[in-house]
Structure 1
Amino acid sequence: MNYLNEANYDYIGKKKNITDRMIQIISRQLRDDSDYAYIRHYLIRYQNVPLWVMMNVLIIGQLSKMYYCQKGRIKIKVCQEFGPLKINEMGKMLPIMTKFRNVCAQ
């Protein structure tokens, strides 16, 4: 599961602590007794949970942190999937979406 490997992230400075925490949180969600049947299925059958499956479990804040810690070329590829969206625009939108979601949840 490459998304659990810190070498795949921009692992310097302030991002190091955020990346470590994010990986720790995601790792806890990957367990055989997960509340999510599809997580259990992939762990038991394949001993691997693809990122596209893991994305269903992540909350907006975790997704925002995952994007923040990505290397530049990955950010570019992500933004290209959304049309003419710049890296800094996506970087600003995700934390705003996180705050919006948190306000709505109160």
Structure 2
Amino acid sequence: IPSSPPHQSPRPPPPQVAEGSYLLVQQVLDKCFALVLRVEGLETVNTAQQLEILKLKARVVAASTPISVAKPVAKPKALKIVPAAPAVSTRKRKEVVIRDPGEELHDDT
């Protein structure tokens, strides 16, 4: 009957390997934490953008509803332009005749 090998307890890793593993695990945890923070920030931005989209959609719906007119708007009346009456002078004019003695007509012709 073959003898079973004696049970060996796991040996602790050398100190350099343990320290390197610890640093690696710490770096992974730091990266994971940074990514979690980034995801939370992006989710917040996404929520804000979705809210903004809903507000804009509501504005579009409100702007696209037709506006009903209660009464037809009266057309403005066109003004008729009447020509002004010619100005009449109320002063009487005196007729003045200037005669040239050289041009007077003679009756003896």
Select the structure with the greater relative contact order (CA < 8 A; seq sep ≥ 6): 1
Which structure shows the higher helix fraction? Answer: 1
Q: TM-score range by the shorter chain?
A: under 0.3
Higher radius of gyration, 1 or 2:
2
